[in-house]
Structure 1
Amino acid sequence: MPGRFSSLMRPRWWTLLLLLVAVILLAGYLHWDDRLRFWFKQQQSSPAEQQASIWLPGYRAVLQGKPVQGLEDDELSGLTYSAASNTLFSVTGKNPQLIELTLDGQVIRRIPLHGFSNPEGVEMLADGRLAVIDERKRTLTTFKLDALTRSLEFADLASFDLGFAKAGNKGFEGIAWDSRNERVLLGKERSPLGLFSLPFPGEDGAAGALQPLPTGHLFLRDISSLSYDARTGHALVLSDESRLLLEVDARGEPVSFISLSGGFNGLHRGIKQAEGVTMDAAGNIYIVGEPNLFYVLSKLPAVARPEND
């Protein structure tokens, strides 16, 4: 009888063992252990440290999963804020276009990007200039936009070769403008995953060479978008595979993070394949995720504690 009972239980134990191994491997793949350790460290941050940072745990979703109308045949990627127009810009890859949006996700205009192959990132630079990253061409292209611009031709624009000729579909996707140091910050998606800087591109391309930046332990599977906050000197790093938004300081060290899974920070459902992030002048965070869903996160005012507490 004991032998028969043991033979009946053995398949169950093997199943449980395999499930345990799968959970351990998945935890390592998603860096859950690193997230947990940093979460505990994050809880020890002082009010002064939080005040000096973007402090992502203080944000909540105020607009989530709003479909961006009129882009059913394409997908938004990358996101940037223009202070001059108080609007957002994104790009599409299948049918390359520059898309201008209102702050609540309404399409204002579309500008075809002729000669582009796979635009993945867009950023507002200094002096009213925009930059677009083409992942397949491995280029950063800069141009000025005005109210009369109806289309853009790649061959007519200043471009800079970003290198990594063998990167394929694992090249640069994230781009942000570091106004403090007048340079472009770039995020390479993976293989290797990393952050880089590039001096401000002039009319004839970039004035300097691409430089790797120091990074701490980012505990991310990939980098899909970047944004820079001049007030703190910190950057936001978006990862669609990790479903994570991470704040890093000037040394590339993690400062704070939030999960983009459902149930966290006011999100009813998780943000699937988050492809673009930016901040506006008021500190609101905007995210676009496939298939063309629009999100806004705002920082809640701090609640003062009663004096008797």
Structure 2
Amino acid sequence: YLGGNRYALSRERERTLTTHCIDSSTTVLPPATYSLTLDVNRHSDNAGFEGLAQGRGEHALMVAQEKKPLRLYVTDQSPDALSVSDSLTHRASLPWFLKDISGLHYDRNNGLLYVLSHESDVVVVSDLDGGRKVMSLRRGH
């Protein structure tokens, strides 16, 4: 959910992101307002876009590539264009042992990005300026 009537949809195997305007009268998915396909790691069916989170700006979207390689992209949508950068990968300061990314949440109030890795049993909390905290999801911690 991107706010208003705007939603972003991810198709992992196709490595495609689309944005759509959906309201209470919508009965069929309308054509995409924007569509983005990244030609990354096409030989693997389970290593595409896994997590989505609304970013800092009103039209910014953070997108996680699950693995092979792990990447965090940020998109910015203007009325005329959609830009994409993987600069977020470095800024998030992900730990070397992270096996996958299975979910994202960006807390706009405090500027923290939460990165879930179910294969590593951790949540990484990043301030996007190199600072991070790793929280274990294993029982008893």
Would you call these one fold, judging by a TM-score over 0.5? yes
Q: How many Å separate the matches in 1 of 2:61 and 2:107?
A: 13
Change (3 A) 1:252 1:148: farther
Q: How does 1:102-141 map to 2 (within 5 A)?
A: 124-141=1-18
Q: How does 1:183-222 map to 2 (within 5 A)?
A: 183-200=60-77, 206-213=81-88, 214=90, 215-218=92-95, 219-222=97-100
Instruction: Note the C-alpha offset of 1:165.
Output: 5.2
Secondary structure of the 2:84 match is coil
CA RMSD of aligned residues (A): 2.3
2:116 to 227, 234, 238: 238
* Equivalent in the alignment of 1:170: 47
What do the CA deviations read for 1:26-56 (whole angstroms, capped 9, x no partner)? Answer: xxxxxxxxxxxxxxxxxxxxxxxxxxxxxxx
Larger proportion of helix: 1
2:27 to 123, 146, 150: 150
How many percent of aligned residue pairs carry the same amino acid?
35
Instruction: Note the C-alpha offset of 1:175.
Output: 1.1
Instruction: Note the C-alpha offset of 1:233.
Output: 1.0
Instruction: Note the C-alpha offset of 1:252.
Output: 5.0
| Aligned residue pairs, count | 136
* Equivalent in the alignment of 1:227: 105
Instruction: Note the C-alpha offset of 1:152.
Output: 1.6
Change (3 A) 1:235 1:182: same
172-181 or 137-146, larger mean C-alpha shift: 172-181
TM-score of the two chains, using structure 1 as the length reference: 0.40
Rg bigger for which structure? 1
Gaps of 5+ in 2: none
* Equivalent in the alignment of 1:69: none
Q: 1:129–1:145: 8 Å Cα contact kept in structure 2?
A: yes
Gaps of 5+ in 1: 1-123, 265-309
What do the CA deviations read for 1:56-75 (whole angstroms, capped 9, x no partner)? Answer: xxxxxxxxxxxxxxxxxxxx
Q: Larger relative CO (CA 8 A, sep 6+): 1 or 2? A: 1
